Amino acid sequence: MTDLQTSPITRSHNQGLLELDRRHLIHPVTSFRGHERHGARILQSGEGMWLTDVDGRRVLDAFAGLWCVNVGYGRESIVEVAAEQMRRLPYATGYFHFGNEPAIRLAHELTRLAPEGLGHVYFTLGGSDAVDSAIRYIVHYFNAIGKPQKKHFIALEWGYHGSSSNGAGLTALANFHRGFDLPRPWQHHIASPYPYRHPEGHDDAAVIASSVAALKAKVAELGADNVAAFCCEPIQGSGGVIVPPRGWLKALRQACDELGILMLVDEVITGFGRTGPMFACEAEDVSPDFMTLAKGLTSGYAPMGAVLMADHIYETIADAAPESLPIGHGFTYSGHPVSAAIALEVLRLYQEGGLLENGERTGIRFAQHLERMREHPLVGDTRGRGLLGAIELVSDKGSKAGFDTALDIGGRLSALTWEKGVIVRCFGNAVIGFAPALSCTSSEMDMIFDRVEGALDALLEMPDIRAATGC
């Protein structure tokens, strides 16, 4: 990385910002005191795969912001459509039968691209409220068909479904439950399809069979008449990029059908080319009853999420309610015209702009690097699909033992990778997550791994880490 030569004026301006941040800004999912001590890394600009902070430090973003900036930073064509839409019509409500052209076109485009049968869209502001909206619609649906006792939801351990009051209970990460009185009594979790840590090892058929058996057992325990839906990510992102075997999603879809429960597939991370195809469901020929989307929908250029609803659900809800009564679910910014115009341009870039193709191409190099990293003394497992992947560190490759949490592997790696000039996601459980933009070039991919490997070598040089690994 370059030597940073900031002027005294810039330095004092930046110090002022840091202080204001400490005093007033609550950051998502951070320890309040921990953040005050750490301070913010204040980002200022971005171009392609690169971010620059207020001190002029340039870093390679291998995590697309928060697995969302799939098209990369600095896309002028997006800025232009956003400015043009803002000039023409910056806001239009969807209430009272009003509409706007970008939202209508986007709903059409999404239903055209989505798996067969998902013909209706409700727009949200992001992923959490997309999941929350899907939960509300599912509750409404079962009341509408006269099965009000079907209210229990089953999700996966290590799953993440946002941080809304209900969605955070489907999430199965302790940080989102602790102190928030979650999960709720109607929210349940079954074991994650985690091949590296599955009792039967990397046996794909066994991993799939045990998930199906666990779902059936949980439904039997709760009573099929009481279960509304099963909810899952096709690849579990925030739990540590856990990649189920191919065929897993389809097997779970079949199990849901057999059990008479709905399936909600949360593609907030996996959508929009992240794993190769436009949606991960496509690769498994799965059409869920609900699909939630966000992140890559606008590539992070503006907030927006979506719930795709199957035609049979829509028709049932529509027929059940008297025409004089509204279905009481709505947000001021649902179908926001600027976000929708941005999403349409982002979708164009994925398709006509060649980004899906580039993502698939670069995904091959990504997979090669992940495979190579297995040789590193700290690496127990690597996994990935498309441009979504992870490296899992262990203290002992044989026993797959992790690290004492007191060693704070996540915090150290976050500092080391930042020093090396690359941003990756450093999970607390010693997993490093990658989600580079679909625009990533081969040489940028090489640079990412060069820097991450450097950080891992530096971690291994630390005496207490060396002692923990016995290397």
Contacts with ligand PLP by CB under 6 A lie at: 126-128, 131, 160-162, 233, 237-238, 266, 268-269, 294, 305
101 neighbors 313 (Cβ within 8 angstroms): no
- How would you write 202-221 as a 3-class SS string? CCHHHHHHHHHHHHHHHHHH
118 neighbors 289 (Cβ within 8 angstroms): no
Bridge-based pairing of strands 290-293 and 305-309 is: antiparallel
Closest by CA to 127, choosing from 279, 298, 309, 13, is 298
Nearer to ligand PLP, 305 or 380 (CB): 305
Nearer to ligand PLP, 255 or 293 (CB): 293
Q: How far is CA 290 from CA 76, 259, 367, in A?
A: 33, 17, 30
CB of 186 to ligand PLP, least distance (A): 19
In sequence order, what DSSP letters do the residues of 334-390 get, joined into one string?
Answer: TT-HHHHHHHHHHHHHHHTT-HHHHHHHHHHHHHHHHHHHTTSTTEEEEEEETTEEE
Nearer to ligand PLP, 57 or 425 (CB): 425
CB of 463 to ligand PLP, least distance (A): 35
Bridge-based pairing of strands 120-124 and 305-309 is: antiparallel
CB of 238 to ligand PLP, least distance (A): 5
Nearer to ligand PLP, 235 or 341 (CB): 235
63 neighbors 75 (Cβ within 8 angstroms): no
239 neighbors 172 (Cβ within 8 angstroms): yes
Report how far residue 356's alpha carbon sits from residue 150's, in angstroms, rounded to the nearest whole number. Answer: 39
Closest by CA to 275, choosing from 70, 53, 125, 13, is 70
Report how far residue 225's alpha carbon sits from residue 261's, in angstroms, rounded to the nearest whole number. Answer: 9
Q: How far is CA 43 from CA 53, 72, 298, 445, in A?
A: 4, 15, 20, 22
Nearer to ligand PLP, 272 or 449 (CB): 272
Report how far residue 209's alpha carbon sits from residue 355's, in angstroms, rounded to the nearest whole number. Answer: 35
Nearer to ligand PLP, 253 or 369 (CB): 253
CB of 292 to ligand PLP, least distance (A): 6
CB of 451 to ligand PLP, least distance (A): 24
Residue nearest ligand PLP (C-beta atom): 127
CB of 66 to ligand PLP, least distance (A): 6
Nearer to ligand PLP, 100 or 298 (CB): 298
CB of 67 to ligand PLP, least distance (A): 7
Q: What are phi and psi of 183, to 5 degrees?
A: -75, 165
CB of 126 to ligand PLP, least distance (A): 3
Nearer to ligand PLP, 268 or 342 (CB): 268
229 neighbors 289 (Cβ within 8 angstroms): yes
- CA 192 from centroid of its chain's CA atoms: 16
CB of 175 to ligand PLP, least distance (A): 13
Nearer to ligand PLP, 294 or 379 (CB): 294
Nearer to ligand PLP, 298 or 469 (CB): 298
CB of 423 to ligand PLP, least distance (A): 16
